Amino acid sequence: MDTASPSRHDVIIAGVGGTGSMIIGQILATAGMNKYQHILWNPSMTTARRGAPADCTVILSDKEIGAPFLTRLDTVIMTESSRLKAFENRVKPGGLIVLETSGLNEDVQRTDVKVVRVPGVETAAKVGDALGRNMVMLGAYIELTNAVPQDFIEAEMNRRFKGRVQEINLAAFREGIKLLASRAS
């Protein structure tokens, strides 16, 4: 885990359908309000239909955010591997791509970024629901960057979800953290 905590983190979360990517973006942004002075959550849904490309940008910063749209970001989280080619070049050199491996048909072509492959669907299925892959991906991102403390994320999840949905999402999030923590060991 990266223990350094820069005063700014910017990430784009790309998926399809929108719900999974948008929810983890909202959780990250809302939980980030406990740590950062300036937060931006900027959703982008190409069409309002199931299965359509959707993404959101989250900027967490101690300084004012000058523009809501960035052409290149520190990190891209791809909750859906089919979005790889559309977002691979949106990462700054030296940046991070957190990539869902389920359905991955192509690989990252760039050599100037760090790529972390995460079996989000497989991991989420083990805790009870493959739809929790977005939470696995969020956990992996938090473990890799320490952008927002884990307990802030979990507090927001507890506020947002109840019952079985809360249990599954928390379990999937924690599994994403454990998965990446075990790779660092």
**pTM of the predicted model as reported, rounded to 2 decimal places:** 0.91
Per residue in 10-42, pLDDT (tens digit) is 999 998 876 788 999 999 999 999 999 999 998
Q: 25 with 58: CB under 8 angstroms?
A: yes
Query: Would you list the domain boundaries of the chain?
Result: 8-184
pLDDT at 1: 38
Domain spanning 8-184: CATH superfamily: Pyruvate-ferredoxin oxidoreductase, PFOR, domain III (3.40.920.10)
Positive or negative, the Cα torsion across 43, 44, 48, 49?
negative
Structure tokens at 46: 């190409």
Listed as ranges, residues in the chain with pLDDT below 50 are 1-4
- List the alpha helices (DSSP H) in 46-149: 84-87, 120-127, 133-145
Output the CA angle 177-173-57, nearest 5 degrees.
95
Mutual angle of helices 120-127 and 133-145, in 10-degree steps: 110
Residue 154, Cβ density class (10 Å: 0-12 exposed, 13-18 middle, ≥19 buried)? middle
How far apart CA 100 and CA 80 sit, in angstroms, is 6
pLDDT of residue 67: 78
